[in-house]
Amino acid sequence: MSELALRVRGLRKQYPNVLAVAGVDLEVKRGEVFGLLGPNGAGKTTTLEMIEGLTEPDSGDMDILGLNWKQNGSEIRARIGVQLQSTSLFNKITPREALTLYAGYYPKSRTAVDLLELVQLTDKADAFHVTLSGGQMQRLALAMALVNDPELVFLDEPTTGLDPQARRSLWDVVRQIKAEGRTVILTTHYMDEAEALCDRLAIMDHGTVLTTGTPPELIAQLDIPSVVEFSFEGQAPAVDGFARRIGSEIEARGDLWEIPTRDPKTLLPKLLELAEAEQIPYQQVHVRRATLEDVFLHKTGRSLRE
């Protein structure tokens, strides 16, 4: 059995007005949780849908569990589990029925009772799916992705639109899926989610993979482990003169100044002294370690949230 659950080379998709995916290479090892992190419109979903066989790529090679779409379409479908970005089911079907119905499409399947328990939907088993909350619907979609006991599971933005508590409970299910030995590929635009769940990540923007690695590796690559933040009331003032005098790069974003540094211990007293001298009207200062957000900012010059 191959070490890799997925290998993708030169995947490309042109839509009439936009080059959605411009040559993506990916390698995902068996048993890991792999994340595609990037802002909306980065090409994550299109990439995922090409791998899932929903969208035909213009070019590129894919090796999925040692199989390919041209020769082994139905075998791939039997062995992968897919949670779409939005799962729209037929009207008036209950979670139990949906799971039983979909289980019937596969040669191998798990029982609805097991799956409902796994995603904590047992008490909603017989409610029409239209009555489920966003979080419950996402958990049902997750359960449906697991109905065929898949080796490789795709989750497209599994927690988008959920409240913090619902997100955490979904994270627990993802960890459970990994613990069962399955490979998980997920997309997200939440860096905390990527950090919390993913063994490895590919950061995507404008249809290409900017960088790949484990979250600590990616942050270490930045070579600026810390960030000093000055927060202001309202819009942060211009940084030009201050940055020159302190001899450091400063990013003004919204109500923040962000000053990346390798050595916060030396920089901080100097910063505070100069800020005092120049009467900079900041409200608070704090020092934090660099995050994936900073990695993204560094690679693209834009924030993930923008």
Sign of CA dihedral 58, 64, 67, 69: negative
Q: Which of residues 6-65 bind another protein (CB under 8 A)?
A: 52-55
Stretch that binds another protein, among 10-18, 73-81, 116-124, 220-228 (CB under 8 A): 73-81
The Cα–Cα gap between 83 and 81 comes to 7
Nearer to another protein, 54 or 113 (CB): 54
User: Is residue 78 at the binding interface for another protein, with CB under 8 A as the rule?
Assistant: yes
Verify binding: residue 92, another protein, rule CB under 8 A.
Answer: yes
Residue 165 found at the interface with another protein (CB under 8 A): no
Residue 82 touching another protein (CB under 8 A): yes
Phi and psi, residue 43, nearest 5°: 105, 10
The residues facing 183 across adjacent strands are 152
Here's the x/- map for another protein, 104-143, by CB under 8 A: it reads as: xxxx------------------------------------
Among the residues of the chain, which ranges form H helices?
44-52, 69-79, 95-103, 112-118, 134-145, 164-179, 191-197, 215-222, 240-246, 264-277, 292-300
Which CB, 87 or 300, lies closer to another protein?
A: 87
- Options 10-18, 94-102, 213-221, 238-246: segment touching another protein (CB under 8 A): 94-102
| Residue 107 or 254 having the CB closest to another protein | 107
Q: Which one among 71, 88, 165, 279 touches another protein, defined by CB under 8 A? A: 88
Q: What Cα–Cα distance (Å) separates residue 145 from each residue in 137, 171, 276, 304?
A: 12, 15, 57, 28
Rounded CA-CA distance 39/52 in Å is 21
Q: Which is nearer to another protein, 91 or 279 (CB)?
A: 91
Q: Does 156 bind another protein (CB under 8 A)?
A: no
The DSSP line for 183-223 is EEEEEES-HHHHHHH-SEEEEEETTEEEEEE-HHHHHHHHS
Q: Which is nearer to another protein, 97 or 114 (CB)?
A: 97
Task: Tell whether residue 67 is a contact of another protein (CB under 8 A).
Answer: no
Report whether 35 contacts 188 (CB < 8 A).
yes
Residues contacting another protein: total by CB under 8 A: 27
Please say which residue, 57 or 264, places its beta carbon nearer to another protein.
57
Burial of 262 (0-12, 13-18, 19+ CB in 10 A): exposed
Specify the residue for token string 């990994």.
178
Which one among 80, 143, 239, 252 touches another protein, defined by CB under 8 A?
80
Residues that bind another protein (CB under 8 A): 52-55, 74, 77-78, 80, 82, 84, 86-93, 97, 101-102, 104-107, 144, 148
